[in-house]
Amino acid sequence: MEWISDTFLKGLGFCKSMAATRYVSPRLVIPDKSSTDQRLYIRWQAFDVLQQKVRVFKCYQINDYRKHSEFDAICKELCRQIEHLLASGCVYDPTRAEIQQVLEPEVAEKRKEEEQTLFSALSAILVTKSIFKTSTYKSYKDAVRKLKGYLTSQNRDKMLVKDFKLIDCQNFSMFILKFQGLSNRTHNNCINALKSIWNAMMDLEMVEINPWNKLSKPSSGKGRNVAFNEVQQRELIDYMKSKESNMLRLSLFMYYTGCRTTELAHLQIKDIYSDGPDKIHISRLWAKNSMMRQVVVHPALAELIEQWGWLNCPKEYYIFSIMQKPGPVMVSPEQFGKNFRRKVLAPLKYPKQYTLYSWRHTFAVMGYRAGMTVAELGMQLGHQDPGSTNAYLKSLGLFSNDAVKEKLPSLQI
C-alpha cells in the first residue's frame, strides 16, 4: 500500500468498484501542494444500509503520529484494521480512542488520562494546528499562550478539560480586555482561535460542548490604526532621515506598496521584478487572504531600490532582515511594529493608535484623494473584493456623503 495524491484520488471512480464488496479499501492520501490544508489522511467508502447511501470517511488522526519513526507502518496497520472491519460488514468510523487502541494499545490509557488535563489537551491540539501556514498557526499559539498564562496566574494550571466552563471564558475575556489592554479586534481574534481549538477538541471527543460559542464579544470597531496627515508625514520623514534611516526604508516601502507587515517580513530580493520590470511578487503563502498578487512599483520607489543597492544582494536574502537591511535572517513581523514604536513614534510622543501599519493606511488615504479608484486601491492593498476596500476607506473617514447637503430639499417650517 502506497501513498497517493489528492488529485489522483479525485479522478478515481470509486462507486463503480463497490458492486461486489460494498466498500472501497482504505487509501493513504497526500493533499495537493496547492491546498491550504496539508494534513495527511486515510480515506475509504462504504455503503450504509440504514441510510441507503454511500458514505465517505476520512481519518485525520494519523497526523498526531507524523513524527513517529514508524509512521508509514502505523498508517498501513490502521488501514488493515479498518479493511478487516469493512469486510465483516461494519460501516466503520473510528473514534480517536479506538485509533489509539489500534496503534498504541500500551499507552492509550495513559494518553487518555493526560488529555484530561487542559494544558496537555491544548498542547496536543496545538501540534495538529502546526500544519497550517505560519500566520494562522501563530494566532493559535498566541491564544494558547495567553490562556495558559491566565490560568497559571489563577493557580489553575492543573485543571481538567471538563472543568473549563463558560464562566472561565468570561473571566479570561475580561482579563485580556481590562488588565492586558488588548483592543477589541485583537481580543476577538484570540477568542476565535480558542473557539477553533475547542472545536478540534470536540472532533476528538475530548469535550462535549464548546463554551466559547456562548461568549459575547465586543464590537471590533475601526481598530487602532489611522493614517498620517501631511504634517505628520513631514515630521516623521525628517526625524527618520536624521536619526533612523533603517526605519525610513521600511516606512517608505510600506507607503509605496501598501504591503502588510507579514508580507514585508517574507519578501526576498528575488521577489523584486520577478513578475515584470515594475512589479513585486507577493506569495499567497504570506498574504492574509491567501491570494497571490503583484504589487506595482512606483517610480519613486524604483529609484530608491536602485539607490539602496538591493538588486546587488543575493536573491535569497530577505529585504528587511536584521536592522531592516537585506540579510539571510527573517525577522518577526511584530518586531517591525515594536521597533517603529520604540525608535520613532515614542520619541515623537505619538498616541498609541498610530503604528507602523499607519503607513499602509496613509497609502490608501493619499491614493484615494489623488483619484485612484476603489478597484485600483484594492489590487495594491490585496483585497479580494471592492466591498473590503470600501469598508477599509470608510473606516478611515474617506466616505463623506456631501450629496445630502447639496441635494436634499429643506422642509418648510
Which among 194, 102, 179, 178 is positioned nearest to 140, based on CA atoms? 194
Q: What is the pLDDT of residue 98?
A: 58
Distance of alpha carbon 115 from the chain centroid = 26
What is the residue extent of each domain of the chain?
3-105, 118-214, 230-395
Which residue reads 480558542 in cell numbers? 194
For residue 95, the model assigns a pLDDT of 59
Phi, psi of 409 (to 5 degrees): -65, 145
Alpha-carbon distance 24 to 386, whole Å?
45
Residue 318 burial (CB < 10 Å; 0-12/13-18/19+)? Answer: buried
> What pTM, to 2 d.p., does this model score?
0.54
Report residue 302 as a C-alpha cell: 524604483
Q: How confident is the model at residue 102 (pLDDT cuts 50, 70, 90)?
A: low
Task: Give the CA distances from residue 6 to residues 29, 40, 42, 131, 319, in Å, rounded to whole numbers and listed in that order.
Answer: 6, 10, 11, 17, 35
Q: What is the dihedral of CA 27, 28, 34, 35, to 10 degrees?
A: 80
Q: For 68-88, give the secondary structure using H, E and C.
A: CCCHHHHHHHHHHHHHHHHHC
Using 50, 70 and 90 to split pLDDT, how confident is the model at 405? low
pLDDT confidence of residue 297: 92
Per CATH, the number for 118-214 is: 1.10.150
Q: What is the distance between the alpha carbons of residues 22 and 49, in angstroms, rounded to a whole number? A: 10
Cell numbers for 134, please give them.
Answer: 505560519
User: Contact at 8 Å (CB) between 381 and 361?
Assistant: no
Q: What is the helix (H) or strand (E) element at residue 173, kind and residue range?
A: helix 166-174
Rounded distance, CA 307 to CA 309, Å?
Answer: 5
Are the beta carbons of 79 and 42 closer than 8 angstroms? Answer: yes
| 256, 284, 386 from 330: Cα distances, Å | 21, 18, 32
Task: Give whichever of 3-12, 59-68, 379-388 has the largest mean pLDDT.
Answer: 379-388
Radius of gyration of the chain (CA): 27
Q: Which residue, 34, 36, 48, 25, is CA-closest to 5?
A: 34
Order across the sheet with 41-48: list the strands: 3-5, 23-30, 41-48, 53-59
DSSP 264: H
Q: How far apart, in whole angstroms, are the C-alpha atoms of residue 70 and residue 103?
A: 11
For 215-368, strand residue ranges (E) read 279-282, 293-296
Q: Tell me the C-alpha to C-alpha distance, in Å, between residue 295 and each of 33, 218, 287.
A: 24, 34, 12
Q: What percent of the chain has pLDDT over 90?
A: 32
> Which CATH number does 230-395 carry?
1.10.443.10
Q: Which pLDDT band holds residue 58 (cuts at 50, 70, 90)?
A: confident
How much of the chain exceeds pLDDT 70, in percent?
Answer: 82
Q: Specify the residue for cell string 498574504.
A: 287
Task: Give dist(CA 120, CA 201) in Å, integer.
Answer: 12
Express each pLDDT in 279-308 by its tens digit: 999 988 777 777 788 999 999 999 999 999
pLDDT of 3 above 60: no
| pLDDT number for residue 363 | 92
